[in-house]
A and B are shown apart, each in its own frame.
Chain A
């Protein structure tokens, strides 16, 4: 088993170990889960430093390939490109943070909770690492089970409706993807291997359209794209803090990652046809999600709708199909995981203190809990994309990448999306104002404790990442570059094959577009 395999299955091994520990020892379960997730993180650092982002490096690194069901063409094939690497890192960073955040919040069935979290981590890493369609599907569906349990058992009052909605929504769409995977199997020389299938797939344009829709629908539900987003506010609101953080931090990225890895490169010609529709829905999502956040009275619901808006930016960058836009999308996936994850952590800390999510129950907390307020404001600034935070880098690249892309009406999309940045400031700052500013008029809020050391340790890595990724984005941009360039090149080949006019990549600047002066002898 190579390094990637170890990183993938270490949490699962931890879960098995936890199963052996007695149920009553909550402290041991917490310590074990923290130790395992921290070890996973440390090992994943080896992946981070071992990854070669140079143009000559192989597309997938840390690759491992073992036959699993050779008769059916199913193999255990894993490997990472830069985008998958970044998302694996996001997962391994977030999970120990989440474990630490549940120290107090989860007192009930700690053993099962930690096992669910550990299984979830393996499934998430596996989803990003898989290079076999069946393996991918198995990991993808495996995530649903611990997630279903997290919301269904440790969630709040209305959790049953939320879990069923979450499960049915995502499962129904995933079944379509399974059908599509099977169809691909019969048209690529009978293999489920992603790399082989991508090279050998032979489908008519009509079939490609249906296949793109089937994959795209499964991913669009996960993202979630407007109008398939209504499971998200319910699931977020009812989930325990840990569930919300994982859901926002990693699970939503599986949708956008799915587009980046599967739907777009497998069916580029069909993707070009649906591209305007994706751009329109993404832009609607940005504005619609922001408007929804504007009128929510429940903090978690507000943050959930803001996710719809932020993920709209990611999808818009993908639809732009320019190096800047795609890179920005990848960056924004990480940003959203960090800033929205941190927002859910902070909301969870407020909830632990006051046991309510209603914005109106708070007010004037800043004097009472200055550290928590400061952390909340910093994370808010990241969420609204202030320069100097990670959020700006992503939004700036997506907006400029869309504006400068060859997508039809790109300027309209970019301009409308930029309005989402204005609305983002409105709803987030209103939330800050209502919760932390003004007079402390509720007696229940008079004696809230400020951040504890443990809570500080939970938030510290998030805030550090917000600042570091805002000021020094280069190391986080570099791994994405080869993957982004390969995707753009794939689309350019597809265009050449179909004979379509160039609509991929970045425009030429007007001044540079003038005929260059002859500098030497011309032939």
Chain B
């Protein structure tokens, strides 16, 4: 490829992909208030474009079949007296076809959302505007560290970094206490996941003695799963058990970052952040980090079927639960948030069932259409004066044609209409799950297929409901009647993302022609060792199963969901939803309250912990240690002083008597000791 610099130069400049947005954040963070709005925009956008350009070059080399690896300097490295270095973190980066795809999505979609934000955030004052772009650039830098890091430790750095930016951006309008709380909730729930990540990381260090992906993958290929670990932390376990434990811990981290059961509760509240943030962080990039983590460690997961079964099942259950909650939400961003949780569940079904490339492809197409949907929602909010309740909208089609058209395309993509991108990526996942036979639990694939298909039906329903209520019918409020289309800076990114949502279909066409399975074949080198191991264990079928039936069934489901939504929200059955809600008031309220999972956690974990802390403080610190021991000792000393004062009364005869007795005791003691 003559238009590319040499691979050596590309490797040396890998850090520039990260340093561009990091420098943008530094400049705008330190001097943004004084730079003026135009310069802030220039710096932030320039950083993104620069990063995208270098990422594209690196991707080009990955596509040409090379793996770019920057051997970084040591960061945290401790060598024992015996010369062994177990903890050895370095600033190493790697671009293969998996991370290359990710950086292209992060910088590409990221650039579009930066462009959109220049208009969306224009109502902020200068300081707020600069602060927003500082955080946004910082987020992109952290996300790139997460994706590009060549070891679990560096990924963890990005992992916590994106968590911080998410916290800062959810609470961007921090004067509203609820938004500040939502930010903290996101950080703390993610920290619970990070706790799992850390324990998993330590476990892998104990098993393999390294945290670098390349070494882990290479060593995993030499391990016989049934062998017993001879020594160390996992002495007596089988390798398979130890690896399964480590991966389940890592997956706890993934459920936090990627909002899966049981840690998904932060994501709906995260909608408190500005809408471009919801699009970039809470839909397109950060929340997919868990999927990336599983895909990145595919070779390890191939050794641990029980861990894969867990991933599949959690993904399937989350996909269905979140879709069910999305049925009844009336806030446009909340519907999209639950939809994101549900779609992430699909991705986990994919990587859990062993069809890694399908899971990652869905990550990519989802980034396109969900970013488009969120930005569309932001455009609607802009046009409606920050209204988010879809019951107060309706008929926006005529007022905001560009937004409506792109929203329609993205809705069709997510519901899985042929031939849009979502159809191929989602149904490759479901078909893969159906044909998989996990050795730990062979039924888990078909179960996930059934749950996932139900969730797909639900997706078609709630997304169509959202579209009909927002854009179709008659305007239901004054604001909806007078809504206005957004500026070009907002509609052009929408159009680009909608186009990508259509074109992305090319990546996942089924069959075995020249244009089919493009993405699967593209990522083949990354997943080949894992796939080979999975085929050997019978987890994946040895031959590619080509059956049109699941695809046909999926299309029928999508059409059915859309049809029902049309009947109930735009067609003749418009009275039915309200009647249904009245007929089943308790069920309706329960679903509307998101199954009251937040309340459950509050009652079972948060509340008791707070009470425990308060009781411990009062009982242990204040009463037992200070009250009884410290002040008790002081009082005892005082009391002893009072007693001791009694004999000190100036009576010489009594002194003499005491002295005599004391001398006798001392003599007896000394002689007694001497006699022994």
Contacts and interface: CB of A to CB of B under 8 A. Distances in A.
Interface residues of A, number: 69
Given A291-B613, A387-B160, A400 B219 contact: no
A477 B82 CA distance: 17
Interface in A110-168: 165, 168
A146 B625 CA distance: 27
Contact of A227 (B207, B229, B620): B620
B52 to A, nearest CB: 24
Main secondary structure of the interface of A (DSSP, over half): helix
Interface in A223-237: 227, 230-231
B187 interface: yes
A418 B198 contact: yes
A506 B219 CA distance: 20
B78 interface: yes
Interface in B566-610: 609-610
Contacts of B175: 364, 366-367, 437-440
B521 to A, nearest CB: 32
A363 to B, nearest CB: 9
Contact of A506 (B76, B84, B157, B161): B84
Given A291-B612, A294-B613, A370-B127, A510 B231 contact: yes
Contact of B202 (A414, A425, A439, A505): A414
A513 B232 contact: yes
A189 to B, nearest CB: 25
B232 A425 contact: no
A403 interface: yes
A438 B613 CA distance: 25
B74 interface: yes
Contacts of B191: 421-422, 425
B616 interface: yes
B157 A327 contact: no
Given A295-B613, A404-B206, A507 B233 contact: yes
Nearest to B185: A429
A165 B78 contact: no
Contacts of B610: 294-295
B81 A511 contact: no
A473 interface: yes
Contacts of A327: 78
B181 interface: yes
Contacts of A230: 621, 625-626, 630
Given A230-B630, A481-B79, A513 B233 contact: no
Contacts of B82: 505
B208 A324 contact: no
Interface in A482-496: 485, 488-489
Name which of A404, A440, A489 has the most chain B CB atoms within 10 A of its CB: A404
Given A488-B80, A513-B232, A401 B87 contact: yes
Contacts, number: 192
Contacts of A231: 630
Contacts of A392: 157, 160
Given A404-B202, A419-B195, A510-B242, A292 B230 contact: no
Contacts of A262: none
Nearest to A425: B191
Nearest to A325: B78
B188 A324 contact: no
A72 interface: no
Contacts of B210: 509
A28 interface: no
Given A168-B634, A292-B617, A429-B188, A437 B161 contact: no
B33 to A, nearest CB: 9
B222 to A, nearest CB: 8
B429 to A, nearest CB: 32
A324 B87 contact: yes
Given A291-B609, A295-B613, A510-B234, A439 B177 contact: yes
Contacts of B79: 323, 481
Interface in B147-180: 153, 156-157, 160-161, 164, 167, 171, 174-177, 180
B192 interface: yes
Given A387-B161, A436-B174, A227 B80 contact: no
B614 interface: yes
B230 A513 contact: yes
Interface string A35-64: 000000000000000000000000000000
A386 B160 contact: yes
B630 A510 contact: no
B212 interface: no
Given A230-B625, A323-B78, A388-B161, A512 B202 contact: no
A397 interface: yes
A411 interface: yes
A396 interface: yes
B223 interface: yes
Given A288-B616, A506-B84, A429 B625 contact: no
A322 B634 CA distance: 40
Interface string A359-376: 000001011001000000
Residue in B74, B86, B231 whose Cβ sees the most chain A Cβ within 10 Å: B86
A366 B565 CA distance: 46
B187 A397 contact: no
A235 B76 CA distance: 35
A103 interface: no
B177 A508 contact: no
Contacts of B617: 291-292, 295
A422 B76 contact: no
B572 to A, nearest CB: 48
A191 interface: no
A438 B208 contact: no
A396 B194 CA distance: 12
Interface in A469-523: 471, 473-474, 477, 481, 485, 488-489, 505-514
B195 A422 contact: yes
A507 B614 CA distance: 39
A436 B614 CA distance: 24
Given A230-B621, A404-B206, A421-B195, A488 B127 contact: no
A505 B80 contact: yes
Nearest to A326: B78
A415 B199 contact: yes
Contact of A403 (B81, B202, B231): B202
Given A295-B613, A485-B81, A513-B230, A403 B195 contact: no
Nearest to B243: A510
Given A422-B195, A510-B239, A292 B616 contact: yes
A8 interface: no
A97 interface: no
B75 interface: yes
B198 A386 contact: no
A510 B180 contact: no
Contact of A323 (B81, B239, B613, B621): B81
Contact of A509 (B184, B195, B205, B612): B205
A296 B45 CA distance: 44
B209 interface: yes
A76 interface: no
A410 interface: yes
A108 B84 CA distance: 56
Interface of A: 165, 168-169, 227, 230-231, 288, 291-292, 294-295, 322-324, 327-328, 364, 366-367, 370, 381, 386-388, 392-393, 396-397, 399-401, 403-404, 410-411, 414-415, 418-419, 421-422, 425-426, 429-430, 433, 436-440, 471, 473-474, 477, 481, 485, 488-489, 505-514
Given A323-B78, A421-B191, A510-B209, 17 more contacts: A169-B630, A230-B625, A230-B630, A292-B621, A400-B205, A403-B203, A404-B86, A404-B205, A421-B194, A422-B191, A422-B194, A436-B174, A506-B86, A508-B232, A511-B219, A511-B222, A511-B223
5 contacts: A324-B80, A404-B233, A422-B192, A422-B195, A508-B209
Closest CB pairs A-B (n = 3): A509-B209, A437-B180, A323-B80
